[in-house]
Amino acid sequence: MSSSAMRSGLDATYARRSEKILWRAADDCVVLFHEDDGRAFALSRSASAAWRMLDGSRSIADVARGLAACGPAEEARVLSDIVALIDDLERRGCVVVDGESPDAPRPADGPGLDAWQAPVVEEIVFGACDCSSGGRGVMRNAECVPKDLKQQTSTI
């Protein structure tokens, strides 16, 4: 698909953060926590800047244009990177892609970037932990969640 054809379709396509995602900003980066399964993701600086703009009020093309205006990267490259990022985040259940914008007020643009790098999403894996209740558990959203061993065993 040509850059202008891609941009044309993305002017009418909107991405918004999933309601199942909790997120926190730490300096220039964002960490995501998936409520359903406890997966956590760390976003690179460029991905974090895009994440802040994925509120459903801007088309995907508007997000790319806004980010391209903040730095030296060409709009076509930023658009391609944003499409790949949104595809990745949608596959992971972090964003929802819609054909139309909700009737939400448009907040101010996110922070500027002095350099553009391809956005990166890295899954954060938390190991098992010892629960204060004496059992075993898993880390979920930085808290130990006890595992019910009866649910994990099958009856013979």
Tell me the pLDDT tens digit for each residue of 37-48.
889 999 999 999
In a domain, 107, yes or no: no
Reported pTM: 0.64
The verdict on 66 and 84 lying in the same domain is: yes
Across the chain, mean pLDDT equals: 74
Are the C-beta atoms of residues 82 and 60 closer than 8 Å to each other? Answer: yes
Q: Is residue 42 part of a domain?
A: yes
Domain membership flag for residue 136: yes
pLDDT digits 0-9 by tens, 60-71: 999 999 999 887
Number of domains into which the chain is organized: 2
Q: What is the domain extent for residue 156?
A: 127-156
**Residue 154's pLDDT band (boundaries 50, 70, 90)?**
very low
Residue 96 lies in a domain: yes
For residues 10-20, average pLDDT: 90
